[in-house]
Amino acid sequence: MLLGEKSELDQELKLRYQMAGMVHILAISGLHISILGMGLFSLLKRIGLGNAGAGLVSLCVMLQYGMLTGGSVSAMRAVCMFVLNVGARVLGRTYDLMTALALSAIFLLLDSPAYLYSSSFLLSFGAVVGLGAVSPHLIRITGAKGKAGKALISSLSVQAATLPVMLVFFGEVSVIGILLNLFVLPTVGGVLISGLCCSVLGLFSVNAGRAAAVPGRILLWLYEKVGMFAGKLPFCTWIGGLPEIWQSISYYLLLASGIILAYVMASGIQKKEENQLAVGKKVSENSDKIRGVFRKTAKRAYPAGIFLLAAAAGIFVLSRKPGKELRITCLDIGQGDGIVLEIPDGGVFLMDCGSSNKKNTAQYQLLPYLKSRGISHINGIMISHTDKDHISGIMELLEFMEQGLTSVRSDALILPDWEEPPEVYNTLIHLAHSAGMKVLQVESGNSFRMGEAGFHILAPAKDALGEDVNEEGMVVELEYRDFRGLFTGDAGEPAEKAILNRLRDVDFLKVGHHGSRYSSCREFLDQVKAEVAVISCSDSNTYGHPSPETTLRLKKSGAKTEFTMKSGAVSVCTDGKRMWVQRFLEE
Q: Tens digits of per-residue pLDDT, 500-557?
A: 999 999 999 999 999 999 999 999 999 999 999 999 999 888 888 999 999 999 999 9
pLDDT at 294 over 70: no
Average pLDDT in the 343-356 region?
Answer: 93
Q: CB within 8 A of 442, min separation 6: which ones?
A: 414, 415, 416, 417, 457, 474
pLDDT tens profile 65-103: 878 877 788 888 888 888 888 888 888 888 899 999 999
Closest C-alpha among 473, 478, 488, 504 to residue 550:
488
Tally of CA atoms within 13 A in the half-sphere of 110 that contains its CB: 7
Say if residue 287's pLDDT is above 70: no
User: How far, in Å, are 27, 179, 229, 368, 458 from residue 218 at the CA level?
Assistant: 20, 20, 17, 33, 57
Q: Is the pLDDT of residue 54 over 60?
A: yes
What is the band of 298 on the pLDDT scale with cuts at 50, 70, 90? low
Q: What is the pLDDT of residue 145?
A: 80
Query: Would you state the pLDDT for residue 293?
Result: 46
- In this prediction, residue 184 carries a pLDDT of 86
443 contacts: CB under 8 Å, gap ≥ 6: 416, 417, 457, 460, 461, 462, 464
The values of phi and psi at residue 325, to 5°, are -90, 155
Cα(473)–Cα(495) distance, integer angstroms? 9
Structure confidence by residue, pLDDT tens digits, 384-401: 999 999 999 999 999 999
Of 109-113, 281-285, 364-368, 466-470, where does mean pLDDT reach its minimum? 281-285
Closest residue by Cα to residue 560 from 586, 536, 537, 530: 530
Other beta carbons less than 10 A from residue 454's beta carbon: 13
For residue 230, give the nearest of 13, 17, 1 by alpha carbon: 17
Residue 500 CA, chain-centre distance (Å), reads 43
Q: What angle separates helix 177-201 from helix 146-170, to the nearest 10 degrees? A: 100
Range of lowest pLDDT (169-178, 318-327, 429-438): 318-327
Chain CA centroid to CA 535, Å = 28
pTM of the entire predicted model: 0.89
For residue 160, pLDDT over 50 is answered with yes
Q: How far apart are CA 241 and CA 371, in angstroms?
A: 5
Q: Is the pLDDT of residue 62 over 90?
A: no
- Mean model confidence pLDDT for the chain: 89
Burial code (b: 16+ CB inside 10 Å, e: under 16) for 11-45 equals: eeeebbbbbbbbbbbbbbbbbbbebbbeebbeebb
Three-state DSSP class for residue 520: coil
Handedness of CA 493, 498, 503, 509 (dihedral sign): negative
Backbone angles phi, psi at 172, to 5 degrees: -150, 160
Find all residues with CB under 8 Å of 355, minimum gap 6, and list them: 333, 334, 335, 336, 338, 361, 365, 389, 392, 393, 538
> Do 117 and 136 form a contact (C-beta atoms < 8 A)?
no
- Residue 297 pLDDT: 52
Band of pLDDT at residue 279, cut at 50, 70 and 90: low
- Nearest CA to 171 among 6, 329, 407? 407
| pLDDT 10s digits, 175-188 | 998 888 888 888 88
Residues whose CB falls within 8 Å of the CB of residue 387, separated by 6 or more in sequence, listed in order: 354, 469, 470, 490
* 291 confidence band (pLDDT: 50, 70, 90): very low
Eight-class DSSP state of 132: I
pLDDT exceeds 60 at position 292:
no
Q: Are 500 and 494 in contact (CB under 8 A)?
A: no
